[in-house]
Amino acid sequence: MKTRQLLGVLLLALLWVLGPSHAFAYLPSGLVWLPEDLPVTYTINERGSDDLSLEQLEALFAASFATWTEVPCTTIAVSYQGRTATEAAIDEEHVMSFVESGWTLGPNVLGANSAAVISLLPKRVSSDITFNGETKTWRIGGGGANLNVIDPQSVFTHEIGHFFGLSHTNDDGSATMAAAYLPDTGQRSLSHDDKWGICDLYPNAASTGECDTTDDQCPPDSACGQLGNNFFCIEARDGYGDFCNSSHINCQDTCVYTLPNLTAGFCTKLCVADVDCGDGAECKPFGTVQVCALKDVAPPEADDFSTDTNEADATSGFDFGVVDTGSSADTTASADADLETTDQVDSALTPGETSEGCGCRIASSSPRRSWSWWLVAPLAIFFGWRQQRP
């Protein structure tokens, strides 16, 4: 095995373990293309999509890949190899395809990147992206509140992030690599967290990022800040209680809708205790769950939300003897919906300030990192043994 290749694997594994300098930020998935792999090739299955022409698909994939490759501080690059009859399979052709019949991940899953290391000697990697054409309609711009109609470029850009080695981010609910599909098409554009990730994985020594420590080069509502080795324009995200809807999502964590047609909602975060919410905020009941809200400001009224989910007379239907008569009835927030509290809010969190401890998010990073030690340790031993040989 070439020492360079092994060193590359080792360094990437170490990168995986060490991760970014922030505790909560982008997460590498573990698969990173090596310099000799660049440009990474891809093809588009000639079956195309029932909803989009092949010409549209080619343009959309080109734009989605370019969103990543044109970040100044990265060297990641791709090369389109044209249309192909090849289906997604465990091979070295990286195929983008739609599954119009026989989608096997269920109706709520929009796309998936599946990959495997075929061999290490030489390194051969399989990586394909498939999209759910069976139960979803794909239309440029998406369907707004109709979540059965999906914006292709948003999902393509997200899946390409996986293809390049990024996992879902813990840090920014409005990032391209946030796990959720956001119907406002905002995921077509990378957030600072996405750019930080791609630049850490594929650093370009000739660039220091998109700004030079001053805010002048950044768009309004963003400020220049250093993340890792580069400077990025860091967006000011909306804080707890700020307005959001299916056309506008700029939440640090998540947008919870308060109207069935998704035309109104508020930014918040699931929580189990006040400590999950950070300074100046509390964990308060909302419907059947608890959400973070600013102190002395109640979450919006939950009645429009799902008034029938806390009925005490429902039975579980299971034979487990534990009967809960539903104290949850009192968990419905009683305060008035007041989405105008946004004026009182100035709590857009910066990445370093994101509160930790919400049970809904803390599980995502540590298992992977502990797994990676099993890879790193033997490789380190092996590499050391190789170095000591005469």
Partner 1 sequence: MSHRSLSLLFLLALGAFGLVAPAPVDATVVLWSDVETLAENADLILVGELIANDSAERAASFGIYTDYTFQVTSVLSGDVGETVIVRLPGGEDAGRSVVVAGVPSFEYGETYLLVLHGIQPQAYGESGDTPYYVPLGLSQGVWTLESYGSEIEAVQRHTDVVFLDGAGQVVNVAPVESTPLSTLGARLAQGAQR
71, 200 in Cβ contact below 8 A?
no
Asked if 164 touches partner 1 (CB under 8 A), the answer is: no
Query: What is the SS3 assignment for 362?
Result: helix
User: What is the smallest separation between the CB atom of 231 and partner 1, expressed in angstroms?
Assistant: 27
Given the rule CB under 8 A, which of 77-85, 209-217, 312-320, 337-345 is the region that contacts partner 1?
312-320
DSSP letters of 10-61? HHHHHHHHH--SSSSS--B-S----GGGPSEEEEEETT--SSS-HHHHHHHH
> Site mask, partner 1, residues 114-153, x = CB under 8 A?
xxxxx-xx---xxxx-x--------------xxxx-----
Asked if 178 touches partner 1 (CB under 8 A), the answer is: yes
User: What is the smallest separation between the CB atom of 224 and partner 1, expressed in angstroms?
Assistant: 29
User: What is the smallest separation between the CB atom of 370 and partner 1, expressed in angstroms?
Assistant: 12
Out of 51, 75, 158, 277, the only residue in the binding site for partner 1 (CB under 8 A) is 158
Tell me whether strands 123-132 and 95-99 are parallel, antiparallel or unpaired. parallel
Out of 52, 60, 96, 99, the only residue in the binding site for partner 1 (CB under 8 A) is 99
Which amino acid would we find at residue 234? I
User: What is the smallest separation between the CB atom of 128 and partner 1, expressed in angstroms?
Assistant: 8
285, 270 in Cβ contact below 8 A?
no
- 87, 336, 383 from 179: Cα distances, Å: 26, 31, 36
Report the residue number, 49 or 167, with the smaller CB distance to partner 1.
167
Structure tokens that stand for 317 in this block: 């239907």
Asked if 183 touches partner 1 (CB under 8 A), the answer is: yes
Out of 46, 212, 303, 324, the only residue in the binding site for partner 1 (CB under 8 A) is 324
| Contacting residues for 389 by C-beta, under 8 A, at least 6 apart | none
Which amino acid would we find at residue 363? A
Distance, CA of 141 to chain centre: 19
**Unique residue bearing structure tokens 């099993």:** 374
Given the rule CB under 8 A, which of 36-44, 174-182, 192-200, 218-226 is the region that contacts partner 1?
174-182
Out of 216, 279, 319, 340, the only residue in the binding site for partner 1 (CB under 8 A) is 319
User: What is the smallest separation between the CB atom of 62 and partner 1, expressed in angstroms?
Assistant: 20
Residues 234-263 binding partner 1 (CB under 8 A) are 254-257, 260, 262
Q: Cβ–Cβ contacts within 10 Å for residue 266, how many?
A: 27
State how far the Cα of 373 lies from the Cα of 376, in Å rounded to an integer: 5
User: What is the smallest separation between the CB atom of 217 and partner 1, expressed in angstroms?
Assistant: 31
Given the rule CB under 8 A, which of 75-83, 217-225, 283-291, 336-344 is the region that contacts partner 1?
283-291
Out of 77, 109, 335, 380, the only residue in the binding site for partner 1 (CB under 8 A) is 109
Length of the chain: 390
State how far the Cα of 194 lies from the Cα of 201, in Å rounded to an integer: 11
80, 62 in Cβ contact below 8 A?
yes
User: What is the smallest separation between the CB atom of 297 and partner 1, expressed in angstroms?
Assistant: 18
Cis peptide preceding 299, ω within 30 of 0:
no
Structure tokens that stand for 331 in this block: 């968990």
Asked if 339 touches partner 1 (CB under 8 A), the answer is: no
**Unique residue bearing structure tokens 């909602």:** 265
Give the DSSP letter of residue 254. Answer: E
Closest C-alpha among 96, 95, 130, 140 to residue 110? 130
Report the residue number, 133 or 209, with the smaller CB distance to partner 1.
133
Structure tokens that stand for 33 in this block: 């293309």
Residues 36-95 binding partner 1 (CB under 8 A) are 87-90
> Site mask, partner 1, residues 356-375, x = CB under 8 A?
---xxx-xx---x--x--xx
Out of 35, 55, 85, 101, the only residue in the binding site for partner 1 (CB under 8 A) is 101
Asked if 382 touches partner 1 (CB under 8 A), the answer is: yes
Report the residue number, 233 or 337, with the smaller CB distance to partner 1.
337
Which amino acid would we find at residue 57? L
Q: Total number of residues binding partner 1 (CB under 8 A)?
A: 96
Asked if 289 touches partner 1 (CB under 8 A), the answer is: yes
Report the residue number, 133 or 351, with the smaller CB distance to partner 1.
133
Out of 44, 71, 76, 155, the only residue in the binding site for partner 1 (CB under 8 A) is 155
